[in-house]
Amino acid sequence: MVAEKFQELFSADERRWILAEFSQSFRIESAFQDFSREEIIRLAVKFGESLKLNEDLYETIRAMKARRKSGRNFDFEPSLDEARDAHHRQGTPLLLCTG
């Protein structure tokens, strides 16, 4: 079921990028973190749509500020909430955008 949703949500190029990017070990302080293929797919399905929406929102804000020739930088801090909201959706973003 999760694998089918992964196929449905992401293009072939996106799937290749996700699997290649997140299958690499990374270090947090003195520990290394690895994700299995199954974990990568599960997390991509859980958070991928929200992250893509955040990316689109960031690009929209950046483009609008550029058109207005606003020299001020802005902070964009998405927060992915794992708790279910009132509409029982997971991964609903909470944004903090200033500037």
Query: Could you give the CA distance from residue 23 to residue 25 in angstroms, rounded to a whole number?
Result: 7
Looking at 63-67, 80-84, 85-89, which range is the least confident one?
85-89
pTM: 0.66
- Is residue 98 scored above 80 in pLDDT? no
pLDDT surpassing 50 at residue 90: no
Distance, CA of 78 to chain centre: 9
> What residues form DSSP beta bridges with 94?
79
pLDDT score recorded for residue 35: 94
Q: How far is CA 38 from the centre of its chain?
A: 17
Q: Is the pLDDT of residue 87 over 60?
A: no
Integer-rounded Cα Rg, in Å, for the chain is: 16
State pLDDT tens for residues 21-77. Answer: 999 998 889 999 999 999 999 999 999 888 888 888 889 888 888 888 876 777 888
